[in-house]
Chains A and B, each alone.
Chain A
Amino acid sequence: MKFAFYPGCVSKGGCPELFASAVAVAEKFGIELDEMKGASCTGAGILQEKNRFLGDCLNARTFAMAENMGLPILTICSTCQGVFSQAHQRLDRDPSYRAQVNEVLKEEGLEYKGTVEVKHMLWVLAEDIGATEVKKRVVRPLTGLRVAPFYGCYLVRPSSALGFDMHPARQTSLESIIEACGAEVVDFPGKTRCCGFPITTINEKNSMGMVAKHTLDAKDRGADAMVTPCPLCHLNLDGYQPKAAAQVNENIDLPILHLPQMLGLALGLDSNILGMGRNIMTTYNVLMKVGVKIH
């Protein structure tokens, strides 16, 4: 299995532990990753709010590059995945719009033909590899660990752009992988809600309110940790958790894991490779619970 690997800006910036753990986990599953070093940012929905056409042109460039590589794209960020999927939907639905976009790409010697497939690592694990196969590879089952899933908006909405009709299993993919790792799923209504990251710089109070609400809700239901396939959710839920806790005047202290960090633990990977010490909210209790040697 080989993919054009699109790591996204955050895994190369604010969440280096995501990049490292994703690469390590992919290797364990024999997923070959050819990193798209020349691909631009997707625009993360922000560029699109200024100029959607411009965003679509940049993403069509990335799609065309993957077409030239002859590979499907693999993402490790819910936001990148969602922005790609939405651009994909617009470009596929309207050939005349795609022609306008291709007109912009022409001078760069690129053309997006509309054949690229873009998949989040979570979908590859749940669909192409399958939860049963993931379970077979687990050498350190996370028995007794209670994990709350947190998808990230862009990986669940709008369902029409994300192919949920064709692939209904995507809606419960995160739960299936948590179970495959041997952990217990803590279901809670916040799992498909918003972490508040997009308004952190605009309306911090509301954003922190969302962080506190979801982390406290998961904790009240007995979660030992939360796992997310989205580094932007991770930045807010993990990096801003102390600020959110101060706003609501409560102790939260909920470890937030990246999806490949949780998988890596179950696959028996070294906690240093997974960057378990780089999460802002300490992962010590998670490591103790699953019996990982800390060094």
Chain B
Amino acid sequence: MQITLKVKRYNPEATSEDKKSYFQEYKVDAPADSTVLDSLIQIREYQDESLTLRCSCRGAICGSCAMRVNGHAGLMCKTKVEKALGKNNVILVEPMGNQPVVKDLVVDMSLFFDKVRAVEPYLQPVGPEPKEERIASNEDMLHLVGVMSCIMCGACVSDCTVLEMDPNFLGPAALAKAYRFVADPRDGKTKERITEYNKYGGIWDCTRCMECVQVCPKGVDPMGRIMMLRTKADELGTKDYSYGVRHADAFEDSVKKGGKLNEAELVINTFGFFNVPKLLGMLPVAMRAAYKRKMPSLFHKSIPGVQSVRRIMSKAHEVEKVQGKKPMPR
């Protein structure tokens, strides 16, 4: 099959700006079931040896060949040509986002690894050393395997919406790695770790957009892990740098009270009734809503059968107390 690869090129040594960054089209004869990486290698071997890319295992294990195809990150060795074909048999290939480009399709991942190191990605057991080894149960290990599948390809970081706004965010890969140690029963520093991740740039800055869940080639579910860290932060009764924990608590209270959300009350309870500066900051938004006759009322009628909602909520908490942890699906 004749296909066109539209590749984003970048040459840091070029003399003028337009020669530095541009798109170049390559025509390739590629079988439908071959991978985009096969085509890129074919270009490099037979058409243009200056095309720079990184790859190694070609089997979705090493994590070297993460790039953006048609705007979304993924491993090129795992992306089939037939799935990636767009209009007129064109495939758009770009380097990953949120990381500086070194040349063509290669990005500098030093910040990625700095952030992974920042979460202290190693076991820190406490207490006297046991006679034999430290044991984790089979069930615990099965749970950890999901997050241990991360191959550090950087796809999640590439498409993270928060990192696009704020490079200080630790990001999905590092926080998923953080969860791996928080959830490990052999680690003894859970509280210290959570206290650290509660800071600015940590777990509360995630906007739950699920881009990382979608693009992860190994099913690590980074955002899901960040949410599990938030659950842990709540269970330990820790405080975050902003209003994350309070917002979640106020949300649950609101649902418990009326069965549905009371938006005005949620805002007041999140910031605190006496938090005048924050509430004043909300005033222009509230005034505009009031002007348009849609300021949500503070006084809500509860839904019919709200008692049933409340009973279910307390029963769900009871199950957790009896079992010692929250039930989880496979």
Contacts of A46 in B (CB 8 A): 247-248, 251
Residue of B nearest to A39 (CB): B303
- Given the complex of chains A and B, what is the CA–CA distance between A40 and B293 in angstroms? 25
In the bound complex, residues from chain B placing their C-beta under 8 Å from that of A100 are 319, 327
How many A-B residue pairs lie within 8 Å, measured between CB atoms? 200
A189 touches B71 (CB 8 A): yes
A108 and B312 in contact, given A49-B227, A49-B248 (Cβ under 8 angstroms): yes
Other than A41-B254, A206-B205, give 5 A-B pairs with Cβ distance below 8 A: A53-B326, A57-B316, A189-B71, A194-B211, A202-B242
The reply on A2 being an interface residue by CB < 8 A is no
Q: A51-B231, A53-B319, A90-B329 are in contact. Are A206 and B162 (CB under 8 A)?
A: yes
Residues of chain A within 8 A (CB-CB) of B296 are 13-14
Q: Which of B51-59, B142-150, B257-265 is the interface stretch?
A: B257-265
Is chain B's binding surface mostly helix, strand, loop or mixed?
helix
B127 at the interface (CB under 8 A from A): no
| 7 interchain residue pairs of minimum CB distance | A194-B209, A9-B261, A157-B210, A97-B329, A54-B316, A13-B296, A94-B329
Please report the C-alpha to C-alpha distance between residue A132 and residue B179 in the assembled complex, in whole angstroms: 48
- B residues with a Cβ closer than 8 A to A are 71, 161-162, 164-166, 200, 204-211, 213-214, 227, 230-231, 234, 240, 242-244, 247-249, 251-252, 254-255, 259-263, 267, 270-271, 284-285, 288-289, 292-294, 296-297, 300, 303-305, 308-309, 311-313, 315-317, 319-320, 326-330
Residues of the B chain whose Cβ atoms lie less than 8 Å from the Cβ of A96? 330
| Residues B288 and A153 in contact, CB atoms below 8 Å apart | no
B259 lies within 8 A of A199 (CB): no
B contact residues around A280 at 8 Å (CB): 288-289, 292
Quick one: given A53-B319, A206-B205, A279-B292, are A58 and B252 in contact (CB under 8 Å)?
no
Interface size of A by CB at 8 A reads 70
- Segment from A134-142, A220-228, A238-246 that makes contact with B: A238-246
Write the nearest CB–CB distance from A1 to chain B, whole angstroms: 25
Contact B317 A41 (CB under 8 A): no
Closest chain B residue to A106, Cβ basis: B315
Cβ-neighbour of B161 out of A51, A93, A194, A279 (below 8 A): A194
- CB of A15 within 8 A of chain B? yes
CB pair B213 A157 closer than 8 Å: yes
What is the minimal beta-carbon distance from A275 to any residue of chain B, in angstroms? 8
Tell me if A295 counts as interface (CB < 8 A to partner B): no
Q: In the complex, what distance in Å separates the CA atom of A179 from the CA atom of B67?
A: 32
Instruction: State whether A54 touches B260 (Cβ < 8 A).
Output: no
Once the chains bind, are B303 and A40 in contact (CB under 8 Å)? Answer: yes
Please name 19 pairs of A and B residues whose Cβ atoms are closer than 8 Å in the assembled complex, sorted by A: A9-B261, A37-B303, A41-B261, A43-B251, A47-B255, A49-B208, A51-B231, A54-B313, A57-B316, A93-B329, A100-B319, A108-B311, A108-B312, A158-B214, A198-B207, A206-B205, A239-B289, A243-B284, A280-B289
**A90: chain B residues within 8 A (beta carbon):** 329
* Complex alpha-carbon distance, A214 and B165, angstroms: 12
Whether, in the assembled complex, A289 has its beta carbon less than 8 Å from a beta carbon of chain B, the answer is: no
CB contact under 8 A between A9 and B205, given known A53-B327, A54-B317, A58-B312: no
Q: With A38-B303, A54-B313 in contact, is A157–B211 under 8 Å at CB?
A: yes
Complex Cα–Cα for A1 and B325 (A):
43
- A58 and B313 contacting across the interface, CB-CB below 8 Å: yes
